Amino acid sequence: KDPQKHAMFPKYDFFRADTDYADIAKFLGLKGETTADLVDALATAVYELGQSVGIDMNLKAQGVTKETLDTTVDRMAELAYEDQCTTANPKEPLISELKQIIVDAYNG
């Protein structure tokens, strides 16, 4: 999926992260017919690796309470938005999107 905004200082002229991840998936022997299939396969493999070594792949399981999430998520999203690396992302996220990513990371 092509990003909505290209990074200010990328090392390439076009969005290619998906094909890079697909190449990693192929190198690992994962199966998929399309780039998107391979990216999904890689994400699944990373999740399953974490599970296989006993890592619960969410913030809740790491001891973050719902109260802590609720009282800090807005500020965390703002800090993430203000981080200098955020502008280098292919898509400039809205603060509401960053907040949802944090909530999703909490729930797993």
Give the Cα separation of 42 and 27 in Å (integer). Answer: 10
pLDDT bin (cut points 50, 70, 90) of residue 8 is low
Average pLDDT over residues 44-53: 95
Q: Which pLDDT value is given to residue 37?
A: 97
3-state helix, strand, coil in the chain (%, to 5): 60, 0, 40
Q: What is the pLDDT of residue 25?
A: 98
Report the mean per-residue pLDDT for the chain. 87
* pLDDT average, residue stretch 19-47: 96
User: What whole-number distance in Å separates Cα of residue 13 and Cα of residue 51?
Assistant: 36
- Considering only residues 3 and 34, tell me which one the structure prediction assigns the higher pLDDT: 34
Q: Bin 53: left if φ > 0, else alpha if -120 < ψ < 50, else beta.
A: alpha
What pLDDT sits at residue 92?
80
9, 84 Cβ separation under 8 angstroms: no
Q: What is the pLDDT of residue 14?
A: 61
